[in-house]
Homo-oligomer: A and B are copies of this chain.
Amino acid sequence: MAIKYPTPKKTTEKIINRANLGMTLESDIEATNQYYLDKQIAVIYKKPTPVQVVTVSYPARNKAKIVEAYYKTPSTTDFNGVYRGYYVDFDAKETNSRTSIPLKNIPDHQIHHLKRVVDAGGIGFMIIYFASYNQYFYLPFDVLYDHFQDSLHGGRKSIPYETIKKEGYPITFGYNPRIDYLSILDQYVIPGLKQASACK
C-alpha cells in the first residue's frame, strides 16, 4: 500500500501581478474598494455608466426589460467616496507606452470635474498604470492640471513617465488590497492638507 505523504506547503513567494490574475485595472480597483468597504476603512464606489433608456418592455409582472437604450458620456470621473472624512475622487488610466501617458487618454470633462472637486476642498487624483513596467502611480491632480494647461498653450500632449515617477507616488501592487492608493493619502496627501489649513 502506498503511503500518502502530505503535500508540502509552498513557501516561495509568488510574484503577484495583473497578468497572473487576468484582471483589468478597473476590476482591480473595484476589488480594492471592496476590501476598504469590508474592513470599514473607506466607502468608495465606482459610479454606474450612465445609460439613456428609450424603451422598456414588461414581458413579465414586475420585471422591466430595457429594449432600447444608449450609453451616455459621464460628466464626472468613475470613482468617488469618503475616507477619514475626506472626499476622494479619481479615475484610472493605463498605457502601453514606456515613455509617457498621452493626455488624450484623459477626457477633458474629467479634468474639469477634478478641478471643481479640488476647488471645493476634495482630494482629486489619477491612478496611472504603465503596463510595460507593471507599475502603478498616484498622480496628484495639480500635476495633471499643469500639464493639461501647458498642452492648451502649445506644450506637449502627454505626461512623461519620468515626470510621473518624480512628481507622483508609486503604488505597490499587492494581494489584498491590490492597489492600496489610500496608503498614499495617509503618507503624502493628508498630512499636507492638515498643514495647509489647521481646521476647515
Q: Chain A residues in contact with chain B, CB under 8 A?
A: 37, 40-43, 45, 47-51, 53, 63-72, 74-76, 80-89, 113, 116-117, 119-122, 190, 194, 198-200
Please indicate the chain B residues that have their CB under 8 angstroms from the CB of A63 in the complex: 70
Q: How many copies does the complex hold?
A: 2
Q: Shortest CB–CB separation between residue A22 and chain B, in angstroms? A: 22
- In angstroms, Cα B89 to Cα A42, docked, is 14
- In angstroms, Cα B85 to Cα A190, docked, is 12
Please indicate the chain B residues that have their CB under 8 angstroms from the CB of A41 in the complex: 120
A42-B120 CB under 8 A given contacts A50-B48, A65-B70: yes
A85-B51 CB under 8 A given contacts A43-B113, A66-B71: no
- In angstroms, Cα B97 to Cα A174, docked, is 52
5 contacts across the A-B interface (CB closer than 8 A): A43-B113, A45-B75, A47-B47, A48-B49, A83-B121
* Nearest-neighbor residue (CB-CB) of A114 within chain B: B43
A89-B82 CB under 8 A given contacts A70-B64, A117-B43: yes
A69-B48 CB under 8 A given contacts A42-B120, A87-B82, A120-B82: no
Please indicate the chain B residues that have their CB under 8 angstroms from the CB of A37 in the complex: 116
Known: A64-B71, A82-B89, A82-B120. 13 other contacts (CB 8 A): A37-B116, A43-B113, A45-B76, A48-B48, A51-B51, A51-B66, A67-B67, A83-B121, A85-B86, A85-B120, A86-B121, A198-B199, A200-B200
